[in-house]
């Protein structure tokens, strides 16, 4: 199975900050890397698919990059509604594993 390791595990930031979350795969997943946002009590919401494609309706302050084993999710200017938990997920092979999550908190 492909393991995904996110860093940091937890992050404190302020509104207006630029934030980067990384996801490292235990082997290459090519560009089959996706990002989700989850708020408490809600289902996950797809943000980025195929490493860098923005899901319809997602604000352009979210962006993704990388390839192979190293990927990043960047939020250019944090908004109050962005404080949530973020997960990466690989769709290169089954089982489609998730990272452990990154909890983004208000500083």
Partner 1 sequence: EVQLLESGGDLVQPGGSLRLSCVGSGFIFSNYAMSWVRQAPGKGLEWVSAIAGTSETTYYADSVKGRFTIYRDNSENTVFLQMNNLRVEDTAIYYCAKEGLIVGKSQFDYWGQGTLVTVSS
Contact 9, 100 (CB under 8 A): yes
98 binding partner 1? (CB under 8 A): yes
Per CB under 8 A, does 64 bind partner 1? Answer: no
Residue 44: CB minimum distance to partner 1, A: 6
The two three-digit tokens of residue 20, written as one number: 């980067």
Options 19, 36, 62, 71; binder of partner 1; rule CB under 8 A: 36
Contacts with partner 1, residue ranges (CB under 8 A): 1, 32, 34, 36, 38, 43-46, 49-50, 55, 87, 89, 91-101
């Amino acid at each position: 199975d492909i393991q995904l390791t996110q860093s940091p595990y937890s992050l404190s930031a302020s509104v207006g900050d630029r934030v980067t979350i990384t996801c490292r795969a235990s082997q290459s997943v090519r560009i089959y890397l996706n990002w989700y946002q989850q708020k408490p009590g809600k289902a996950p919401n797809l943000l980025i698919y195929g490493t860098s494609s923005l899901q319809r309706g997602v604000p352009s302050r979210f962006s993704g990059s990388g390839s192979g084993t190293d990927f990043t999710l960047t939020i250019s200017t944090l908004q109050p509604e962005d404080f949530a938990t973020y997960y990466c997920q690989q769709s290169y092979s089954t089982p489609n594993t998730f990272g452990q999550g990154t909890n983004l908190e208000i500083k």
